[in-house]
């Protein structure tokens, strides 16, 4: 299913380069932002198992997938299971409720970054609760609230003004989930010569409101924003999780090309 789009992709060098750039951006970040050093999620969608193994071999542990079918295939792959025992999968695509049971019991599932409604949160809470019943001591599933900061119809996510209400619903009603922050995809192609990314500004305002409303330490509320073309700008604004794919794994084809 997965094929190399480039004759050779030096994933190991790609990981090192991105981590170095994260360090530089983090050290340059204004001290007014109270946030931990960003975590790198390597977005491996449409990429072959071999490239994931390469990234894992140099210490990368967090990987992001957008499609349920692809995540299932990779998380249950015999090579991944044998050689990547500490891998942490992040689901970063739109999750339909009828697909929840396909991924909640996958080995290595670490986080769902795209919870955008009370109904989805409730369904995840129920599904994870059933797993916890059969596995005493199992920890709550970490999730992020997805916020549509760009007000684009094709983008999923709760409206910024409704984010605190969804956050409240999860922490008060979903006892099997652990809400650890917020995320956005944002509009592509922002021209930084015109100033900071408005999507990042909006997400950080949501972060501040949530921390104030629920009396949370900003250090403990993650902000997932920034991808290959803008993760350094996102870090400068306060991002704690960056999702980088093509800068590590090379060109990614459109879904109908893969």
Inside any domain, residue 156: yes
Confidence at residue 8, expressed as pLDDT on a 0 to 100 scale:
66
Residue 255 is assigned to a structural domain of this protein? no
Q: Whats the size of the chain, residue-wise? A: 258
User: For the whole model, what pTM was predicted?
Assistant: 0.92
Non-local (6+) Cβ contacts of 203 within 8 A are 147, 149, 182, 183, 184, 186, 223, 225
Q: What is the pLDDT of residue 218?
A: 94
* Tens-level pLDDT at each residue, the chain (258 residues): 444 444 467 999 999 999 999 999 999 987 777 788 999 999 999 999 999 999 999 999 999 999 999 999 999 999 999 999 999 999 999 999 999 999 999 999 999 999 999 999 999 999 999 999 988 889 999 999 999 999 888 889 999 999 999 999 999 999 999 999 999 998 888 888 888 999 999 999 999 999 999 999 999 999 999 999 999 999 999 999 999 999 999 855 444 444
CATH of residue 138's domain is 3.20.20.10
Count of domains in the chain?
Answer: 1
Q: Is residue 80 part of a domain?
A: yes
Instruction: Confirm whether 4 is domain-assigned.
Output: no
In a domain, 1, yes or no: no
143 found inside a domain? yes
In a domain, 252, yes or no: no
Domain contains 257: no
What is the per-residue pLDDT for 5?
45
Question: What's the pLDDT at 254?
Answer: 46
Residue 255 confidence (pLDDT): 46
- Provide the domain limits for residue 200: 11-244
């Amino acid at each position: 299913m997965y094929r190399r789009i480039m004759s050779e992709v030096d994933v190991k060098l790609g990981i090192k380069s991105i981590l170095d750039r994260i360090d530089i951006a983090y050290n340059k970040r204004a001290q007014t932002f109270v946030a931990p050093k960003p975590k790198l999620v390597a977005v491996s969608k449409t990429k072959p198992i071999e490239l994931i193994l390469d990234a894992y071999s140099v210490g990368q542990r967090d990987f992001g997938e957008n499609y349920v079918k692809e995540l299932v295939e990779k998380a249950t792959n015999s090579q991944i299971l044998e050689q990547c025992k500490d891998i942490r999968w992040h689901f970063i695509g739109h999750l339909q409720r009828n697909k929840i049971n396909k991924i909640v019991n996958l080995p290595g599932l670490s986080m769902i970054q795209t919870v955008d409604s009370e109904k989805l949160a409730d369904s995840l809470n129920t599904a994870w609760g059933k797993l916890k019943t059969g596995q005493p001591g199992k920890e709550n599933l970490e999730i992020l609230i997805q916020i549509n900061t760009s007000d684009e119809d094709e983008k999923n996510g709760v409206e910024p003004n409704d984010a605190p209400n969804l956050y409240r619903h999860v922490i008060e009603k979903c006892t099997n989930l652990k809400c650890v922050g917020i995320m956005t995809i944002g509009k592509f192609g922002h021209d930084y010569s015109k100033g900071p990314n408005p999507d990042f500004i909006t997400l950080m305002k949501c972060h501040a409101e949530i921390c104030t409303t629920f009396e949370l330490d900003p250090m403990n509320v993650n902000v997932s924003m920034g991808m290959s073309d803008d993760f350094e700008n996102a870090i400068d604004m306060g991002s704690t999780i960056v999702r980088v794919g093509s800068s590590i794994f090379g060109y990614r084809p459109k879904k109908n090309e893969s």
